[in-house]
Structure 1
């Protein structure tokens, strides 16, 4: 029986590409449904995406488009898992005795995770015909080498399963003269007390008839023949310096071949020597042999990972790329759903910039009504603003949190959130449909962290009716602007990253929303230049400008973060893997990169407060007669924001504070503070510089949300609220409240061109 009033938000899924478009450009909608054959489609401008009945509610405006109406649907499957594919070539099809080998660092060998699924490391194998060769692990995690041609199958297997996260040399060879197949395993840990090294020979064929039109694969094998097969038998772990040699090699010779960074390309028996340290920011795998058997990576596995030869002398791959010749593959990587588009829309020339979404509705007898959304963003053409005010859509942060399963996956989630977790239908769906790909807060099935997130897949928490955090919270600011008739443009993080300060400079004022947490170096440089050049910045959030990220230089709407070993994080990267593969820059927090948020917006992240939100109390700075314009119409004897949709106050969830030692400007005016946040205020790890008895009392004295104002060069200025909850207090009491009044005062003055 359907639940009265409930809506099914997952029966139809989709994504839009490009994620951000200008009028006159085309956006494509890629849709899928396993059970619904058709739906009513309509494009909406999103004013408020949060259906919370205590707030403004879901507010959508339908301008009418040529694609509104019935749309047929089909199921488009998802095939997660990263791998590399090398196109078939004569050199691969003419083997008569050979050796395949690589260094291997498995992260899920054997029954603990893989169950009955074998994992392939290197192969030219067609599962459909059971022909070819494959080097990998069997279902118990034991190394195996198999050759077969349809008339017979020959296999050599090591007696011991591999250990998790231990580097080994893995090799397989076929010797037709000796009628033998051989598997070689060598531990690379000189101190291992459980050395699983072994060389095992088994009977083999004198001749083989290889399959035709079959690709060579890394980290999986082809399900069928052809140039673009589905890849199965996926491998979890690192792969470093894979090699293919046209003769059977003894173990020592194989070891030397794999150790060589650049094997002799003139050796006629060298079929392939792939260098995975080349092209870190690409999806290409380069072969250094004369055959040039280059390959393509699918689903964006993690690059710039420490290889078997990493010696700890560097933490950044750009300093010694030859020590970062490993790729970490995961069977659950998902970067591109690969769905065909079902609808195409050319954005009309007269559309206002904003948050937009394709709404899809259907009703099935006896089931809940279906209402699903696919989000996208419309911006003014770059360099041609249509308003004096811009709102920054924090698309990097939206991607970082995309499809977060954190609330169920983290053991201590309820303790962190200080209460029972209410699960949405989207939360439940994600638990059984992890093929959508998770967020950079989650871990892969092998326990390693997600480093890359893209928009080329359905994202459940970046759309109307989705999770209120981030996307939903930000639309409260949009609704507030619309209520007071303010016209604004939309600028996205990726626009700023690609085009720099030129995107921001045309605007008298720029607003960043509730949680602009993820920021690239070009973005931070652009905001800094904008403020120094006379721009005015209103930061209406908390935990902003915190993590250093990079957008992919070639692939749109793809971002990368490395958590490192500092900052508020849900996983840690491996030692030495701090630098971003996309750019070679260090990742981590901006504080550890020498540019704390306080230097840009006066305040920086200091604590999480999930128990309850609180009001601010005014400080002496707010009573400065020179700032009468800021507090006009506000009772400074009453608390600021003693209400709110997130925790009952304007200061909470994640909060920022003033800290002169981290760069809060000396001319900053400290207007108000919320420093009575209670026991639920948990300081971030970087606030714990030492451990001692009673330290929590010392730290909690610094747990607060600070509201500040300061001027910058050229008549510029910054107003910061230091709280995620602030944005969701704007619309309370029918928009007539002191948070709303204060923010209106600031916005009105920031849009006034007269000097501050």
Structure 2
């Protein structure tokens, strides 16, 4: 039964491409609905995306566009799952007997996914014709090799299901002279019950007619003929050094062939030898053989993964790429929905920068109204500002959290909140529609973490009416700026990553919002250079500048993070897999990379508090007459922010504190602190080295949110609030409150060209 007052936000889904545009550029909208054939479209500028009636409420303005009006809808399905595809070539058909093999690290052998348990490792198989060859795992996780001419099939199968997360050499061969097919498996660490080795022969044909126009596939097999087929029989696991040889080989010879980093290119029977350690930042697969049977990856599986030969001597693929020749494929990878565009808009020259969205409404027989949104961002062209103030859209963070299923899957979610979770309609939809692809906080079907997130898919929690965290919270800052008639430009994280400090330099002041958590090295360099060059930075959030990430060098709106040995994390990567595939840089937290957030903004992440938020109390430094511009009109004997939409206080959710040993500057002015966060204030793992009583906020003075100001070089300055909840206190009491007044005082002074 529908919940009274709810809105159907999922009967129509879509995404915008590109995600951020400037005046004169085109944005395309890719839409889908499984049940509706018509919707009413209207483009809106988003002032507040949060429909909470206790706050400003949903605030949209409609400038009017040529695409406003009826839009036909169709169902555009999603096809998750990563794989490799090698286009058909003469070398793939000009042989009789052959051997195929690879090192395999299976992560879900025998496990069902979307109704199927069998998984394909390597194949040139056309499902529609039932013809070709296929090396894989059967529904019980046992290695099998099948050849078929479309009328009759021959199969060899191992009696041993493979062990999960154990390296094995797997291979199949066909010997027409012996009329034999063979499945081969050799465990690389066979001791202590891990051995799954087998070498099994079965009857085979004397001759076969190979399918035509059929791609060779890795981690799946082709549903039909053609160069870009849908792929079935997807795989969960790592592949390393696949080989194809034009003669039947015994197991020992196959092992030597796969072990060789560079098999002899002069061997005329070597049909293909793929090296996954070559081109790691790309989606290309390189063949070392004379045939050059290069391929392409689909749906961005994880690269820079430790291979079967990783010996633990390095944790970075850039130091020993030959030990990182594995790709981890997942049956649920999703990087590109691949939908056709339904609408296209050229952004008018007179549009203000801001958060924008395509609103889609439809009528149904249900009492729930259908209203869905597709978000995008309009920014000023690089180097051509329209305001002296820029607001940074935290697109890296939005992508990191895209379609988070933590509220559904995290077993301790209700313990964190000290209450029962009320699932939103989007949560309920996501529970049964994992094909959308999840966030970098979630784990794949096989238990490994999502390391990559892309904007080329519907994102439920980055749009009006979506989950209020991040995107929704940030629009409270935009609404507050609009209330005080303050114009602003939008700059996205990706803009800063691509163009550096030149994106920020034209602005007198830059605001980062409620949660700028995910930051690349070019971004951090740009913020640092901006502040050193006299820029003013208002950091109105918490847990900022925490994780080191990278954007893909060529694929827009795609980010990567690796979660390693430290940091507040919901999963942990495998040993040795700490470095980013996109750039080769180490990932993890910026603190462990030598650049803690305290060095940039004075405060850094120290605790979570989801039970309730708290007010700040003013410290003596705030009474300095030299800071009267900052505290003008504020009662310093009253608590700061004993109200708010997130936990009834301005300090909460995730909070930051001053720490000189991590780089908080000597000239920092510690204005206020929220140090009464209670037992619900839980420190992050890097904040304690041993376990003992007294770690929580009711007994730990290090669990707090600090509000600070400090001058920088060239007349610049930084103001930091150290709390995610802060931004959602700005609009309380119709914008008349001490949090709003303080922030307005800072903003006006930061826009004043007089140096500090």
TM-score, L = length of structure 2? 0.99
Separation in structure 2 between the aligned mates of residue 366 and residue 178 of structure 1, nearest angstrom:
66
Instruction: Please say if residues 102 and 242 of structure 1, whose CA atoms lie closer than 8 Å, have aligned partners that are also in contact.
Output: yes
The answer to whether the Cα contact below 8 Å between 2:677 and 2:698 also exists between their aligned partners in 1 is no
Residue 693 to residue 635, structure 1, CA distance change in 2 (3 Å): closer
1:220-267 per-position Cα deviation (integer Å, ceiling 9, x unaligned) = 000001111100000000000000000000111000000000001111
Query: How far 1:117 sits from its partner (Å)?
Result: 2.5
CA distance in structure 1 between the partners assigned to 2:119 and 2:193 by the alignment: 25
Provide closer, same or farther for how the CA distance between residues 192 and 102 of structure 1 changes in structure 2, counting only shifts above 3 A. Answer: farther
Aligned equivalent of 2:368: 368
SS in 2 for 1:593: coil
In structure 2, the residue matched to 1:440 is 440
Partner of 1:186, secondary structure, is strand
Post-superposition CA distance 1:340-384 (Å, at most 9, x none) = 000000000110000000000011123421000000000000110
Q: Look up the match of 2:104.
A: 104
Counterpart in the other structure of 1:257: 257
Structure 1 stretch 113-122 or stretch 434-443: which is displaced more? 113-122
Give the equivalent residue in structure 1 for 2:536. 536
SS of residue paired to 2:403: coil
- Say if 1:111 and 1:31 are closer, same or farther in 2 by CA, change over 3 A: closer
Q: Does 1:271 align with 2:310?
A: no
Maintained 8 Å contact 1:579/1:585: yes
Paired residue secondary structure (2:604): strand
Q: Does 1:77 pair with 2:70? A: no
Does the residue aligned with 1:185 lie in a helix, a strand or coil?
strand
Q: Decide which moves more: 1-10 or 475-484.
A: 1-10
Moved more, 412-421 or 168-177: 412-421
Query: After superposition, where does 1:125-164 map in structure 2 within 5 Å?
Result: 125-164=125-164
Aligned equivalents of 1:143, 1:699: Cα separation in 2: 56
Distance in 2 separating the partners of 1:318 and 1:281: 11
Please say if residues 38 and 73 of structure 1, whose CA atoms lie closer than 8 Å, have aligned partners that are also in contact. Answer: yes
Partner of 1:378: 378
Distance of 2:642 and 2:702 partners within structure 1 = 21
Match of 2:282 in 1: 282
CA contact (8 A) 1:316 1:579 kept: yes
User: Matched residues in 1 for 2:396 and 2:62: separation?
Assistant: 27
Query: Residue 421 of structure 1 corresponds to which residue in structure 2?
Result: 421
Is 1:358 aligned to 2:371, yes or no? no
1:461 maps to what in 2?
461
Distance in 1 (CA, whole Å) between partners of 2:114 and 2:40 is 41
Q: What is the aligned partner in structure 2 of residue 336 from structure 1?
A: 336
Distance change >3 Å, CA 107–CA 24, structure 1 → 2:
same
Shift of 1:2: 4.7
Tell me the CA shift for residue 683 of structure 1. 0.2
- Alignment map for 1:252-651 (pairs within 5 Å): 252-651=252-651
Q: Secondary structure at the match of 2:733?
A: helix
Does residue 1:213 correspond to 2:213, yes or no? yes
Aligned mates of 1:3, 1:460 — CA distance in 2 = 19
Match of 1:673 in 2: 673
Whether the 8 Å CA contact 1:688–1:699 is kept in 2: the answer is no
8 Å CA contact 1:115–1:140 kept in 2: the answer is no
Root-mean-square deviation over aligned CA pairs: 1.1
User: CA 1:348/1:695 → structure 2, altered by over 3 Å: closer, same or farther?
Assistant: closer
Structure 1 residues 326 and 352 mapped into 2: Cα distance closer, same or farther (>3 Å)?
Answer: same
What is the match of residue 199 of structure 2? 199
Q: Relative to structure 1, is the Cα distance of residues 111 and 713 closer, same or farther in structure 2, using a 3 angstrom cutoff?
A: closer
Q: Which residue of 2 aligns with 1:684?
A: 684
* Equivalent position of 1:741 in the other structure: 741
SS in 2 for 1:359: strand
Contact 2:681 2:698 in 1 (8 A): no
CA deviations 1:411-439 (Å, max 9, x no partner) are 11111122111110000000000000000
Determine helix, strand or coil for the equivalent of 2:628: helix
The worse-fitting range, judged by mean Cα deviation, of 49-58 and 86-95 is 86-95
- How far 1:152 moved relative to its partner? 1.2
Q: Which stretches of structure 1, 4 residues or longer, exceed 4 Å deviation after superposition?
A: 111-116, 693-699
For 1:196 and 1:114, the matched residues in 2 are separated by 27
What is the alpha-carbon distance in structure 1 between the residues aligned to residue 511 and residue 341 of structure 2?
Answer: 33
Match of 2:728 in 1: 728
Counterpart position of 1:663: 663
Could you report, residue by residue, the CA deviation over 1:675-704 in whole angstroms, capped at 9, with x for unpaired residues?
001110000000111234555579722000
Question: How far apart are residue 110 of structure 1 and its match?
Answer: 1.2
Q: How far is the alpha carbon of 1:322 from its aligned partner? A: 0.2
8 Å CA contact 1:44, 1:359 repeated in 2: yes
d(CA) in 2 for partners of 1:232, 1:23: 42
Whether contact under 8 Å (2:397, 2:515) holds in the other structure is yes
Alignment of 1:175-194 (within 5 A): 175-194=175-194
Q: Distance in 2 between matches of 1:391 and 1:319?
A: 39
Query: What CA distance in whole angstroms lies between the structure 2 residues aligned with 1:274 and 1:517?
Result: 37
So what's the TM-score if we normalise by structure 1? 0.99
Q: Is 697-706 or 568-577 further displaced after alignment? A: 697-706
Q: Indicate if the aligned counterparts of 1:613 and 1:648 stay in contact, CA closer than 8 A.
A: yes
User: Which of 699-708 and 65-74 deviates more?
Assistant: 699-708
Match of 1:431, SS state, is helix
1:735 counterpart SS class: coil
CA distance in 2, matches of 1:382, 1:412: 44
Cα distance, 1:151 vs structure 2: 2.8
CA distance in 1, matches of 2:441, 2:120: 28
Could you tell me which residue of structure 2 aligns to residue 121 of structure 1? 121
CA–CA distance in 2 between the matches of 1:10 and 1:114? 21
3-state SS in 1 of match to 2:310: coil
Query: Residue 391 of structure 1 aligns to a residue in which SS?
Result: strand
Cα pair 1:404 1:442 within 8 Å, conserved:
yes
Render the CA deviation track for 1:35-83: whole Å, top value 9, x for unaligned.
Answer: 0110000000000000000000000000000000000000000000000
2:396·2:494 contact (CA, 8 Å) conserved in 1? yes
5+ residue gaps, structure 1, are none
Q: Do the aligned partners of residues 694 and 735 (structure 1) sit closer, same or farther apart at CA in structure 2, a change above 3 Å counting?
A: closer
CA distance in 1, matches of 2:693, 2:614: 28
**Following the alignment from structure 2 to structure 1, what is the Cα–Cα distance between the partners of residues 239 and 446?**
15
Aligned CA distance change for structure 1 residues 645 and 357 (closer, same or farther; 3 Å): same
Residue 48 of structure 1 pairs with residue 48 of structure 2: yes
CA contact (8 A) 1:392 1:490 kept: yes
| Partner SS for 1:733 | coil
**Aligned position for 2:13:** 13
Cα offset for 1:113? 6.1
Between the two proteins, the alignment pairs up a number of residues equal to 756
User: SS of the counterpart of 1:11?
Assistant: coil
